[in-house]
Amino acid sequence: MITENNLSENEENKKFTPESSEETSEDATPKDETVHAEEHEHDEEHEEVQLSLSDTLKEMEKIINAPNAGENFKKFNQLKEKASHYIHDEVEDKKHEYIDAGNAPENFNFEHPSQAKFSALVNIFREKHDTFQKGQEEEQKKNLEHRQNIIERLKSLYTNSEPGTNLFKSIREIKEDWSKAGQVAKSEFKILNNNYFHHLNQFYQMLDLNKEFLEQEYSHNLEKRQHIIERAKQLEQEPVIQKALNELQYLHKLWKEEAEPVAEEFREKTWEEFKEISNKIHERKSELSAAIETEQNENLEKKNQIIAEIKKLSEPSENPNHNYWQNAIKRVEELRSEFLKTGSVPRKLSNQNWNDFKTTLRSFNTTKNTYYKSLKGSQQANLEEKLKLIQTAKDNQNNEEWDIAVPLFKKLQEDWKKIGHVPKSMTNKIWDEFRDACNAFFNNYREKSNASTDNWKENYKNKKALLDELKTVTNEEGSIERIEAIKTSWNNIGKVPRDKISINTEFNKTLREKLKLNKINELELKEEGLSENQLTDKARKIKSQISDLEAEIVKLENNLAFFKNPSRENPLLKETFDSIDEKKTHLETLKQNLHSIIAGE
374 and 414 inside one domain: no
pLDDT-based confidence at residue 200 (cuts at 50, 70, 90): confident
Quote the mean pLDDT of the chain: 77
Q: How many separate domains does the chain show?
A: 3
Whether the per-residue pLDDT at 34 is higher than 60: the answer is no
Q: Say whether both 541 and 572 belong to one domain.
A: yes
Q: How would you class 530 by CB atoms within 10 Å of its CB: exposed for 0-12, middle for 13-18, buried for 19 or more?
A: middle
Query: Does 31 have pLDDT greater than 60?
Result: no
Q: Is the pLDDT of residue 234 over 50?
A: yes
In terms of Cβ atoms closer than 10 Å to its own Cβ (0-12, 13-18, 19+), residue 345 is buried
372 & 400 share domain:
no
Last residue of a domain, one of 339, 359, 379: 379
**pLDDT on residue 577:** 81
393 plus 373 within the same structural domain: no
| Whether 358 and 389 share a structural domain | no
pLDDT of residue 454: 61
- Angle at 299 (CA atoms; ends 297, 301), nearest 5 degrees: 70
Find the DSSP H helices in 452-570. Answer: 456-471, 479-491, 502-517, 532-560
Does 367 reside within a domain? yes
Are both 407 and 353 inside the same structural domain?
no
560 falls within a domain = yes
CA gyration radius for the chain?
47
User: pLDDT for 406-446, tens place per residue?
Assistant: 888 888 888 888 887 777 778 888 888 888 888 888 888 77
Assess whether pLDDT exceeds 70 at residue 503.
yes
Does the structure show a pLDDT above 60 at 23?
no
User: Is 348 a member of any domain?
Assistant: yes
Cα–Cα distance, 34 to 585 (Å, whole number): 94
Mean pLDDT of 330-359: 86
What is the distance between the alpha carbons of residues 185 and 191, in angstroms, rounded to a whole number?
A: 11
- Where is the domain boundary, 379, 404, 424? 379
In a domain, 295, yes or no: no
**452 domain residue, yes or no:** no
In a domain, 140, yes or no: no
Q: How far does Cα 515 stand from its chain's mean position?
A: 57
Query: Does 359 share its domain with 372?
Result: yes
Query: 375-412 as b/e, with b when 16 or more CB fall inside 10 Å?
Result: beeebeebbeebeebbebbbebbeeeeeeebeebbeeb
* Residue 30 maps to a domain: no
Q: Please tell me whether residues 546 and 570 are part of one structural domain.
A: yes
At residue 161, the pLDDT reads 65
371 in the same domain as 310:
yes
- 153-156 own/partner pairs: CB under 8 Å, 24+ apart: 154/196, 154/199, 154/200, 154/203, 155/199, 155/202
Inside any domain, residue 397: yes
Do 366 and 418 share a domain, yes or no?
no
pLDDT band of 17, cuts 50, 70, 90: very low
Looking at the structure, do residues 364 and 339 belong to the same domain, yes or no? yes
Same domain, yes or no, for 332 and 388?
Answer: no
* Lowest-pLDDT choice from 465-474, 561-570, 579-588: 561-570
Residue 174 has pLDDT above 80, yes or no: yes
pLDDT of residue 162: 67
What percent of the chain clears pLDDT 70, i.e. is strictly above it? 84
Angle between helices 241-257 and 31-48 (to 10 degrees): 140
When pLDDT is cut at 50, 70 and 90, the band that residue 209 belongs to is low
Domain span at residue 396? 384-434
Distance CA 278, CA 249 (A): 9
